[in-house]
Amino acid sequence: MVGFGSVGVVAYSRLVSSQSPLQILPSMADDLSRVERALADSVRTGDSLLTEIASHLIVAGGKRVRPGFAIAAAAAVADVGSATDDVVMGAVSVELVHLGSLYHDDVMDEAQIRRTVDSVNARWGNLKAILAGDFLLAKASEIAAQLGTEVAGLLAATIGRLCEGQVLELQNAYNVDRTESAYLASIEGKTAALFASACRIGAIVGGLDRDHVNRLTDFGTQFGYAFQIVDDILDVTATDAQLGKPAGNDLVEGVYTLPVIRSLQGQNGEALRQILGRQLTESDRDAARHIVRSNGAIPASVEVAKEYVDAAVATVSTMQGPGAAALTNAAEHLLTNIPVAT
The 10s digit of each residue's pLDDT in 194-251 is 999 999 999 999 999 999 999 999 999 999 999 999 999 999 998 877 776 778 989 9
SS3 276: coil
Looking at residue 135, its pLDDT comes to 94
> Which of the residue ranges 8-22, 105-119, 321-335 has the most confident prediction, judged by mean pLDDT?
321-335
The 10s digit of each residue's pLDDT in 149-165 is 999 999 999 999 999 99
Looking at residue 321, its pLDDT comes to 94
pTM of the model: 0.90
144 near 158, Cβ under 8 Å? no
Q: How confident is the model at residue 277 (pLDDT cuts 50, 70, 90)?
A: very high
Q: Class of the 9-221+316-328 domain?
A: mainly alpha
Across the range 249-257, mean pLDDT stands at: 94
Q: How confident is the model at residue 109 (pLDDT cuts 50, 70, 90)?
A: confident
Residue 87 backbone dihedrals phi, psi, to 5 degrees: -65, -45
Burial 99-138 (b: 16+ CB within 10 A, else e): bbbbbbbbbebebeebbeebbbbbebeeebbbebbebbbe
Residue 7 pLDDT > 50, yes or no? Answer: no
What DSSP state is assigned to residue 84? P
Looking at residue 162, its pLDDT comes to 95
Q: How confident is the model at residue 62 (pLDDT cuts 50, 70, 90)?
A: confident
227 near 191, Cβ under 8 Å? yes
Distance, CA of 105 to CA of 101 (rounded, Å)? 6
Across the range 136-149, mean pLDDT stands at: 97
10 near 234, Cβ under 8 Å? yes
Instruction: Sort residue 289 into left (φ over 0), alpha (ψ -120 to 50) or beta.
Output: alpha
Looking at residue 56, its pLDDT comes to 84
Nearest 5 degrees, angle CA 47-CA 53-CA 59?
Answer: 115
Rg of the chain over Cα atoms, rounded to whole angstroms, equals 19
Q: How confident is the model at residue 339 (pLDDT cuts 50, 70, 90)?
A: low
Angle, in degrees to the nearest 10, between helices 85-109 and 193-205: 170
Amino acid found at 166: Q
Looking at residue 124, its pLDDT comes to 86
Distance of CA 6 to the CA centre of its chain: 4
Distance, CA of 110 to CA of 101 (rounded, Å)? 14
Looking at residue 6, its pLDDT comes to 35
E-strand spans in 105-193?
A: 113-114, 117-118
User: Domain extents for the chain?
Assistant: 9-221+316-328
Residue 4 pLDDT > 50, yes or no? Answer: no
The 10s digit of each residue's pLDDT in 66-107 is 999 999 999 999 999 899 999 999 999 999 999 999 888 878
Looking at residue 292, its pLDDT comes to 96
Residue 290, CA distances (Å) to 234, 235, 241, 275 in order: 13, 12, 18, 12
Residue 19 pLDDT > 60, yes or no? Answer: no
Residue 18 pLDDT > 90, yes or no? Answer: no
Q: How confident is the model at residue 11 (pLDDT cuts 50, 70, 90)?
A: very low
To the nearest whole number, what is the mean pLDDT of the chain? Answer: 88
Looking at residue 15, its pLDDT comes to 37
SS3 61: coil
Distance of CA 306 to the CA centre of its chain: 17
Looking at residue 123, its pLDDT comes to 82
Looking at residue 120, its pLDDT comes to 83
